Structure 1
């Protein structure tokens, strides 16, 4: 696994060049330029806020738009990193056929590109926090750790998905659908406290309640999103009991995902 970090450093100039190329190509001749990167979370926040006005979701007295945007920052970063990471190998077929370098550079580049957009989203969130007079506390020091955790989750899926997508192009088509469904299994539209209230406290699913909550907590995005909201908006320490199940699962899967990618990359140039 240490090869990921070695290659990240060794090929940092290549990753930087490919990242710049991706940004230039994506926003070339676009009037709003890189602001398109944050248009998606803003529009989703507005839609969710409208839905909330009809449904009614308890937020503990905090502004719903702020809570939702704080959830959308890691979610959109994860979603976009995975979507581009899975397609990163097939979309760079010409480079793969011309010269050799570790192919994990492509998923890494896709993720680094999204880091640039993530910074812009944080700037918008800072403006919203000032508007709603919600100031961060010392708990905000956890945010870099959650960003790193999100990157690890995205890479775990990207390595396996990118390798599979070379051989089965249906994977690239299925990923956006799967991620859309996963969003409803993550506390983006609703807070985690609502799930805990229904399953842990009220036992709404009867004898299955505790098991369903455990399965829900295995989703690493649950701990990431709740941690983001706690550290930035609620000004409380992240709930590590929520974080551990998904973290243990993803750290178990990541070595196998990376091994599968490295095993498959030997035939990328022939198949692609």
Structure 2
């Protein structure tokens, strides 16, 4: 255990030494993402709004569900958290295979690639969060003292996302089928998370599945601190926080130990 902690501290120190490279990689990926897009960063706002409108029609006009608040605000908050997670993984899964020349020729911490993917998606989410602020003002939702826990929720979300990004990017380098399986899995995963509807409206085995899903307490925590002015569920969110931190440490160590095989598999 002490040896693992020592290795992890060394990884953190090395990542700190290469922080400028991480910044430059993130900047490069942001420029490439929007270079040929006429709307630029507006896409980060436009797509969540379109999805919010579509799901609002489906779940309020057709399914007619009641979530105890304006549904557009409920679903946009969920989509904002979910899109950050899904977009991060969607980019991270190919982050090593799309940078083969750098992986094989130059030494630096290879985890910079999946971490950069996460940071790019984080920037998109920060841009889109301006819409959430506007929607809260429109519906008269004023944040209370619980919003002070927002940095904690974001930190847990980041840890879980980075852990998944490390594992996915590494797995896809060794087995190229992973990226195709991921696309199917991420779609199903969203419907097993409380993005579009709360767990309270779902019964049976589906509710159990949603409660065991690590992303559900994270999405619920965003709504708790932003919209309901209450603390996240201590048991569920505490368990996910522990899982996220330990999972990130474990995934990072596994990634580092497999790094010497990367050049052979690109």
Shared fold (TM-score greater than 0.5)? yes
Q: What is the match of residue 3 of structure 2? A: none
Contact 1:217 1:245 survives alignment (8 Å): no
Q: How does 1:77-92 map to 2 (within 5 A)?
A: 77-92=84-99
Contact 1:220 1:247 survives alignment (8 Å): no
| Structure 1 unaligned spans of 5+ | 199-204
**1:110 corresponds to 2:117:** yes
**CA RMSD of superposed structures (Å):** 1.8
Q: What is the match of residue 218 of structure 2? A: 224
- Report the count of equivalent residues: 258
**What secondary structure, in the 3-state scheme, does the structure 1 residue paired with 2:93 have?**
helix
From 22, 34, 38, the counterpart of 2:41: 34
Contact 2:96 2:173 survives alignment (8 Å): yes
Contact 2:194 2:216 survives alignment (8 Å): yes
TM, length-normalised to structure 1 = 0.89
> 1:78-109: CA deviations, max 9, x gaps?
11111111211111111112210111111111
**1:180 corresponds to 2:174:** no
How far the C-alpha of 1:240 sits from its partner, in A, is: 1.7
Q: What is the match of residue 56 of structure 1? A: 64
**Matched residues in 1 for 2:74 and 2:91: separation?**
26
TM, length-normalised to structure 2 = 0.90
How far the C-alpha of 1:252 sits from its partner, in A, is: 4.3
**Matched residues in 2 for 1:255 and 1:16: separation?**
21
How far the C-alpha of 1:110 sits from its partner, in A, is: 0.8
**1:161 corresponds to 2:168:** yes
| Structure 2 unaligned spans of 5+ | 1-7
Residues 1:73 and 1:2: Cα distance change in structure 2 (over 3 Å): farther
Q: How does 1:68-217 map to 2 (within 5 A)?
A: 68-195=75-202, 198=203, 205=204, 213=207, 215-217=209-211
Q: What is the match of residue 19 of structure 1? A: 26
> 1:128-161: CA deviations, max 9, x gaps?
1111111111111121111111111111111111
